[in-house]
Amino acid sequence: MGKAGIVKSDTGMLGGFSLNKTPDKIHLQEIYCAIEDRKAFYLNVNKEKLNQSANSKKINNFFIKLFSDIQIEIENKMENITLKNILNHIK
């Protein structure tokens, strides 16, 4: 999370980790990506040309588009949730 700029570290006897930004400026999407090193609901689709029928290709393309749209919706939702929202919710 340090590489993502979410936390910073201080050295020495009083060192440790602290937030690099205020909780209202840290979004769930950036926390998730920093921890998982990938996007939420990441879809790793094998796009090799297989011997598929025309209908199979259409079905496959439909689901690739569907999952891509779902990924965008999840990311948008996570970008609207801040660490402050989460902390307020669990208090």
Tell me which of 41 and 8 has the higher pLDDT.
8
User: What topology does CATH give the domain 7-90?
Assistant: Arc Repressor Mutant, subunit A (1.10.10)
Q: What percent of the chain has pLDDT over 70?
A: 85
**What residue spans define the domains of the chain?**
7-90
Q: What is the DSSP string of 42-79?
A: ------------HHHHHHHHHHHHHHHHHHHHHHHHHH
Q: Is 0.75 topped by the overall pTM?
A: no
The whole-number pLDDT of residue 8 equals 93
**What average pLDDT does this structure show over 33-58?**
72
Residue pLDDT, tens place only, 79-91: 999 999 999 999 8
More reliable by pLDDT, 16 or 53: 16
